[in-house]
Amino acid sequence: MSDLITKKTLKYLTDLARIEIKTEKEKKLLKDLVKIIDYFEELKKADIKDIEPMAGGTVKNNVFRIDEEDDGLPFQETKKDKLIEQFFEEEDSFLKIPAVFDEKNKRN
């Protein structure tokens, strides 16, 4: 069983992600996270020395469409304007968001 996930680690992760976990759900979440970590530890043990690495993936065509006029504005500009309209704060052409890293989430 993995000892990488402790209550302290879970608290740090939930604070960083800014999510609240009810106390009664904490034990189940810890158990699930330990299972996930243990699974990855098991995958690390797999013997892959005789397996040829895959490279290149699949051949794809250009999936981007050509910009077209939309109400007199280029497509990309219209999309950008709609995105900016939905944002809650803008300053000097920058979209502002609440701080992600602050003193509360700083590691010791």
What tens digit of pLDDT does each residue of 44-85 get? Answer: 999 999 988 877 667 766 666 665 655 555 555 566 777 777
In 3D space, the residue among 41, 37, 28, 103 whose CA is nearest the CA of residue 7 turns out to be 28
Q: What does the pLDDT average to over 94-106?
A: 73
Q: What is the Cα 11 distance to its own chain's centre?
A: 18
Tokens of 11: 């608290």
Q: What is the model's pLDDT at position 61?
A: 66
In 3D space, the residue among 26, 36, 21 whose CA is nearest the CA of residue 6 turns out to be 26
Q: What does the pLDDT average to over 36-44?
A: 92
The answer to whether the pTM exceeds 0.75 is no
Q: Does residue 94 have a pLDDT over 60?
A: yes
